[in-house]
Structure 1
Amino acid sequence: MAEPYEKAQESALEPPFGSTGTVRLKVAVRALCDFTARRGDLDHRFTPSPTASEGIAGHELIAERRRAADAAFETEVALEGEYVDATGQVLCVSGRADGVDSTQGRVEEVKTHRGDLARMADNQRALHWAQLFVYGALLCRARGLERLTLSLVYLELGSGRETRLDETRTAVELEAIFKEHCARYMAWAKQEGLHREGRDAALRQLGFPFAAFRTGQRPLAEAVYKAASTSRGLLLQAPTGIGKTLGTLFPMLTAMPRQGLDRLFFLTMKTPGRRLALDALARLGDTLEPQGEAPALRVLELVAREKACEYPGTACHGDACPLASGFYDRLPAARHAAVERGRLDRAALREVALAHQVCPYYLGQELARWCDVVVGDVNHYFDVHALLHALTQAHDWRVGVLVDEAHNLIDRARGMYSAELDQRRLAGLRRQAPPALAKPLARLGRQWAALGDHEGDKKGDKKGDNQGNKAGGQSGRDVEYQVLSVPPGGMLRALGQAATAITDYLAEHPGEVDPALQEFLFEALAFTRLAEAFDDHSLFELTRSGRGRALLALRNLIPAPFLAPRFAASHSAVLFSATLSPGDYFRDLLGLPAQTPCLEVASPFAGEQLEVRIRRDISTRYAHRQASIEPIVATLAEQFQRAPGNYLAFFSSFAYLEAVVARFGEAHGEIPVWRQERGMDETARDAFLARFVAGGQGIGFAVLGGAFAEGIDLPGDRLIGAFIATLGLPPVGARQETLRERLEARFGRGFDYAYQYPGLNKVVQAAGRVIRTPEDRGVVVLMDDRFARPEVRALLPGWWRLP
């Protein structure tokens, strides 16, 4: 493995330290002030920040106003300057001033906001002034000015009203402020430069932590290293059990110093994936020479706010939460302690945070700037407000991205870029809302009542038996499903007005924590912001199930337009899973470049390890399910009697599963069975898996695509077989047919992309629970005549010996 790594070219980027030992570090004005100017409390009250597009539009509006008044007014003025400390080390500071009026001797910094400016937190205002002072110092240097007027301009987006705050400072005063910020940043920056130099030196010597690679693991690692070395993406299909986590982390870490990568993000779909990554990183980190007392590689685990919060239900500001009070005053010491510790999983980060009395969640957000490897959920890079993507852009990082279980990214991304509003929630909110919100909520209610009366094409949704597959998730009643032909403009305007009113109310009453009001606000903001990006990749759905019972959804169908910029922002993105074929399907829907290679790593498993049988005499189609129950029960019993042990049986829905379980119990009550229930919590899921003991006997019944169809590991005789009574195809309905039509129009592969490929991927994932190691033996019984079709067989793993 070492040979291809040693042949890689060195990075063209200059290291932070030159041959003379002189440090030349670069920082943007925003990042400099972010680090040095914040003081006091965390304050995350309910002031909705403008979207990126709103902020850009606001800046353009101010620029147009200024140019209309004075054609010589300058906008987006590039400024740069150096700070040299007492030891000769150099910090290069650069940025763009929003506006410069040379005739008036004035520089502007423009900030957009919503609502009452008086509610802005003091630390936020201090940050804005610091940025303006630094721009002023750089402008005085560049143009030889002796005095300058500094204007902090706030634009309220709803009204278009400007508030201008002016200060006049001399060049000497501004230079002193500039040097103070630089000096405070420089001490930390030099430490970071030394860490980066030591990290890269250690990674150049990184060795594989085992004596040998597993079968298939070496070509996997070589493919990842090649992708990183050529700055491109990769779809990597590799069977379960060959060590994909370690096999992707090792080559990407090896590439970091050679390709000048600043950060590595390991993104997972579920918590167990994060644990595997953290364990692999700990093993790899143990092979590196430490930097004094600190590890050479800093690793951070990011978790969701609700899991990290020490005071649930408490607002995130100093008046309400003790860990928010004085947060920025205690942050420097906490940050220093954290980077010295280096390995910061959830427990370690919490320990450091509480020792310094700061919020663990927001300490983690801060440390994402300073850790080499971040392990988190896919949302942390791909979501609308993803922290890791925002940091990548703000700091112009070169990043490597690894996405585990990437076959799930299509559905996860659709969820990230979709939003839903419930009419019943609004009705309940109106009944209990304070009087100040009565009018905006009533206006929104009237728009709800009128919604869809004259828009769109109505489609009756076919009733199916999968939980949640009826339009709107309703059951037991007729459902009317409607795709709106145009965006509901009146509804969106009323929703935005209601969100502003709720925001104002919550900010004016910070002691009143109303979870229902807050939750509705967050839903409204998410909905209106996604509506700004509406195009043919999404649709507006209206689902009615009775008077006053309607759901309005902005449903994303094709996440590619949202994800493509995220992939483009990375130096190399590697998506890996046991099921990532066909490549075109994933490239098209995820927005990967057309030239992104899709590599399949040969399986380390032999065909004789897995007996595959197809019951061609059984049809699991919806119309044939009642007739299929008896032959399925007979097949399960026959296999169990032939080879007693632990089995999993997968079905397309809970209703189908329950019908088979009931009949199986009547006919074969002597065979132990246990089943997946609707809405199982973590404790119940653990209890289900605990039944699969070594040497045990019985059949566990589960739903295909659910918690037990992927991501679980039952090696040896803990699981010796699986029955799959479905092709995994989504049930036909109005919503699914709309998806098929959109995919057909865009890619010409509507049925394959909407039904067949996602269904068969679920089948392969479920079957993959059986063979986990080269020593395992087992059986998979595919119960449906369609498994015998050539186009279906072509999508099953190549190492299977199909009958």
Structure 2
Amino acid sequence: MSTDHAIMAPADAESPRYRVAVRALCEFTARSGDLDLRFTPAPTAQQGIAGHQVVASRRGEHYEHEVTLEGRYGALIVRGRADGYDPVRQRLEEVKTRRGDIDAMPDNQRALHWAQAKVYAALMCRERELEAIEVALVYFDIEQQRETVLVETMDRHTLEAFFIAQCERFIDWAEQELAHETARAQALGQLAFPHADFRPGQRALAESVFKAISTRRDLMLQAPTGIGKTLGTLFPALKAMPGQQLDRLFFLTARTTGRRLALEALTTLGMANSCEEAGEPGVRTLELIARDKACEHPELACHGDSCPLASGFYDRLPGARQAAVQQGFLDHDSLRSVALAHRVCPYYLGQEMAHWCDVVIGDVNYWFDTSAMLYALTRQHQWRVSVLIDEAHNLVERGRAMYGAEFDQNRFAAARREAPAALKRVLDRLWRQWKALLREHDGDYICLDAPPRKLFNALSQFVTSVGDLMVETPIALESALLEAWFDAMQIVRIAELAGECDASHYLFDIERRGRSATLSLRNVVPAPLLAARFEGAHAAILFSATLSPGHYYRDQLGLGSSTPWLEMASPFTAGQLEVHLAGHISTRYRDRRASLAPIAELMAHQFHQRPGNYLAFFSSFDYLEQVSEALAEHAPDVPQWSQARRMSEPERDAFLARFTPKGQGIGFAVLGGIFGEGIDLPGERLIGAFVATLGLAQFNPVNEQMKTRMEALFGDGYRYAYLYPGITRVVQAAGRVIRSPEDQGVIHLIDDRFRRGEIQALLPRWWTLPPGARHNVDIR
């Protein structure tokens, strides 16, 4: 395998067996002291590349840029690329792009940088047969475009001794990883499907996944809920790992329920208790969760003077890391238990364990976001990975969100009120630019021809100033100033990305609401940005119950036109599901008042005909509340409960808890919201659903601009901006009803537009619609 952590099959007993990158070696051996994040965020990848190029351009013609070096010590091969070498001065340079004053840099951070420089220098002395060499740390400030150079002259023997010391510290771990690699291959070779047989359609699903990974192809799979997609994709992906020499398997999802299902599937496969003879699991699993949910002390800053779990973090990390690999199955609770037992931060222990676990489960942003950790690690270590993307239809909107940003006037006003005096000047300048922009553009909605550069320059200065301030004055995680700082960094980063894309792929607009306004940088089509991430994987498997039409998702996600799209046969029969079309009711905005009584009558009739638990979906909270009132007046005996705006997690749990096996009533929810997908209410817990909307996005200036862009790009603006996403929401919501081959249920599709042939063509094939249901109806 061509990986920095990869084990090489030895040609003979003396051959090297383990390769490690210089950076990975030093991060393992040379870090000590406190975790200290007062200087984050680091420059973006693009800024880092640009900074290195600036430094190289300032050197002479003889300067060697990115010099590949490699050296052996015992069972190790250490390799990497030195940033630069001046053969005339015999100076090796390690370049670090950064923000802020380097004099305030923690000693342990600078020690790590020196360690990397010294290892490169030792390898350079070996290769060029040098007796001495200048070793230079070059700190390049990306804001000021200024270099600070620290230089030491070192002899070959001193550097060789340092190199050997680092290898000695790592070699025991390398031998452990070699043993783990062997045990993992053995465990996966013996892995068997955990049930007596596959569910209907599940075998075909698994075979398709195995074939795609084995032939290094991306694959789009539409498979109905209940087929066992999670187990049916994880099992073949794991089986393919040894044969394809894969280093990692990433299971990515947009919802917490997806992570839970993946962990349950791995437990079913025996991953939670499959142990090597040495007592360590043959396959290591890690669940990654968001920082705000993993942080034990959100009121404290992330450095040793503030947080006890950051103090001495790197000194205690080796023990925590060893305990974590022995634990092996690291869901959130297990990882937290290990972290607290060793008094280290659970979140950053999870970040560390991402280097050493075979299966990683996390949100899609860990691979696709602008600062995606798993993607960065894969590139850094040259891993060969397969990526499983659960509920992949969500990736369109998630992609737009990840590659978009906004300037919210209220959030920045709150930051301005609480900011210290040191930031007054930069915030006043930012506020002046914002007010000037608003004076220049009048109206409730303005679509800009180009991003407002003066405002973005002021935002960039704000980012720098807050970063400088944090050197001396830590800021707690929960503060308006820090939120505004993160927002500003995202805006600056996205503005750079937008400048690199086709102009039609971004929309810059201002929306006024009363006395407040928001500037948005909207990503219209995430395809160009997501495509690079798909190319970074050995194979990507995208699966969902709603992934049609295939061309729409290929166009939006940046998949090649030849990417296979397969639909798995449903394990369900038409007899399990009654589908009714309420073609006499219109749910268009202009017709909603007239629709209230007919919908209430329909719902009451169905409930009285077959009492039980139902879900009712509507296009908005206002519409939901109006129908709820109408039903309460028409049939006060029908129990009902409703989704509320901004529900807390306990409130969501209480909503779902009402759906008991013997319960009766109707739960009202908003289509496309938290109860529209990702919830599992099998059997009698849910016997029916009412969908009183076509799921179309609201007609407003923003969505009309999106439609115009889609029309220009794909020639089908209405379907791309409104229809396809809307029907996906409808099918997802209706999919809550039938969850297993034993379920029986009913769906009422309430809107006259469901009678139109082109709408019905987008519904699941196994649904049987009532005779004579198709008519030509205006779908707009």
Residues 1:283 and 2:250 aligned together: no
Contact 2:414 2:481 (C-alpha < 8 Å) held by counterparts = no
Q: What displacement does 1:551 show?
A: 0.9
Matches within 5 A, 1:133-148: 133-148=118-133
CA distance in 2, matches of 1:169, 1:592: 51
CA distance in 1, matches of 2:477, 2:719: 48
Deviations 1:595-636 (A, max 9, x none): 111111000101111111111111111111111112111211
Letter in 2 for 1:368: A
CA distance in 2, matches of 1:96, 1:79: 6
Deviations 1:311-352 (A, max 9, x none): 121111111111111111111111111101111111111111
Question: Which of 65, 79, 84 is 1:75 aligned to?
Answer: 65
Question: Which of 377, 382, 388 is 1:402 aligned to?
Answer: 388
Letter in 2 for 1:75: H
Query: What value does the CA root-mean-square deviation take over the aligned residues?
Result: 1.8
CA distance in 2, matches of 1:617, 1:132: 75
Aligned to 1:733: 700
Q: What displacement does 1:17 show?
A: 3.6
CA distance in 1, matches of 2:106, 2:617: 54
Question: Which of 449, 452, 463 is 1:488 aligned to?
Answer: 452
Letter in 2 for 1:357: R
1:285 aligned counterpart, secondary structure: coil
Deviations 1:456-487 (A, max 9, x none): xx7x7xxxxxxxxxxxxxxxxxxx11111111
CA distance in 2, matches of 1:321, 1:787: 57
Return closer, same or farther for 1:160/1:272 CA change in 2, 3 Å cut-off: same
Q: What displacement does 1:454 show?
A: 4.2
- Larger CA deviation: 38-47 vs 576-585: 38-47
Aligned to 2:357: 371
Return closer, same or farther for 1:516/1:46 CA change in 2, 3 Å cut-off: farther
Question: Which of 628, 634, 642 is 2:595 aligned to?
Answer: 628
Matches within 5 A, 1:378-393: 378-393=364-379
- Larger CA deviation: 595-604 vs 42-51: 42-51
Return closer, same or farther for 1:254/1:619 CA change in 2, 3 Å cut-off: same
1:540 aligned counterpart, secondary structure: strand
Residues 1:154 and 2:118 aligned together: no
1:482 aligned counterpart, secondary structure: strand
CA distance in 2, matches of 1:543, 1:786: 31
Aligned to 1:318: 304
CA distance in 2, matches of 1:761, 1:83: 56
CA distance in 2, matches of 1:747, 1:705: 25
Contact 1:47 1:504 (C-alpha < 8 Å) held by counterparts = no
CA distance in 1, matches of 2:445, 2:475: 41
Contact 1:301 1:345 (C-alpha < 8 Å) held by counterparts = yes
Return closer, same or farther for 1:775/1:513 CA change in 2, 3 Å cut-off: closer
Contact 2:310 2:345 (C-alpha < 8 Å) held by counterparts = yes
Aligned to 2:45: 52
Unaligned runs of 5+ in 2: 771-780
- TM-score, length of structure 2 as denominator length: 0.95
CA distance in 1, matches of 2:411, 2:729: 34
Aligned to 1:771: 738
Return closer, same or farther for 1:498/1:511 CA change in 2, 3 Å cut-off: closer
CA distance in 1, matches of 2:716, 2:591: 27
- Report percent identity of matched pairs: 59
Residues 1:338 and 2:306 aligned together: no
CA distance in 2, matches of 1:788, 1:177: 76
CA distance in 2, matches of 1:513, 1:30: 29
Q: What displacement does 1:158 show?
A: 2.0
Residues 1:32 and 2:25 aligned together: yes
CA distance in 2, matches of 1:545, 1:649: 30
Report how many residues are paired.
Answer: 761
CA distance in 1, matches of 2:674, 2:640: 18
Residues 1:571 and 2:538 aligned together: yes
CA distance in 1, matches of 2:447, 2:316: 52
Q: What displacement does 1:739 show?
A: 0.8
Residues 1:527 and 2:491 aligned together: yes
CA distance in 2, matches of 1:797, 1:550: 42
CA distance in 2, matches of 1:308, 1:212: 38
Letter in 2 for 1:365: Q
Letter in 1 for 2:484: F
- TM-score, length of structure 1 as denominator length: 0.92
Aligned to 1:350: 336
1:711 aligned counterpart, secondary structure: coil
Question: Which of 233, 236, 239 is 2:224 aligned to?
Answer: 239
Contact 1:267 1:376 (C-alpha < 8 Å) held by counterparts = yes
Matches within 5 A, 1:413-562: 413-454=399-440, 480-510=444-474, 515-534=479-498, 535=501, 536=503, 537-547=505-515, 549-562=516-529
Deviations 1:229-264 (A, max 9, x none): 011111111111111111111000000001001001
Aligned to 2:621: 654
Contact 1:418 1:530 (C-alpha < 8 Å) held by counterparts = yes
CA distance in 2, matches of 1:421, 1:594: 36
Aligned to 2:55: 62
Q: What displacement does 1:424 show?
A: 2.5
1:648 aligned counterpart, secondary structure: strand
Deviations 1:634-689 (A, max 9, x none): 21122222222221111111111111111111111112122212122122222222
CA distance in 1, matches of 2:353, 2:497: 31
Q: What displacement does 1:515 show?
A: 1.4
Matches within 5 A, 1:705-744: 705-744=672-711
Letter in 2 for 1:680: M
- Larger CA deviation: 676-685 vs 190-199: 676-685
Contact 1:203 1:288 (C-alpha < 8 Å) held by counterparts = no
Return closer, same or farther for 1:307/1:180 CA change in 2, 3 Å cut-off: same
Unaligned runs of 5+ in 1: 1-10, 461-479
Return closer, same or farther for 1:671/1:370 CA change in 2, 3 Å cut-off: same
CA distance in 2, matches of 1:326, 1:99: 33
Contact 2:339 2:346 (C-alpha < 8 Å) held by counterparts = yes
Q: What displacement does 1:72 show?
A: 1.6
1:605 aligned counterpart, secondary structure: coil
Question: Which of 8, 24, 31 is 1:16 aligned to?
Answer: 8
Contact 2:388 2:541 (C-alpha < 8 Å) held by counterparts = yes
Return closer, same or farther for 1:19/1:505 CA change in 2, 3 Å cut-off: closer
Letter in 1 for 2:45: A
2:636 aligned counterpart, secondary structure: coil
Q: What displacement does 1:196 show?
A: 0.7
Aligned to 1:473: none
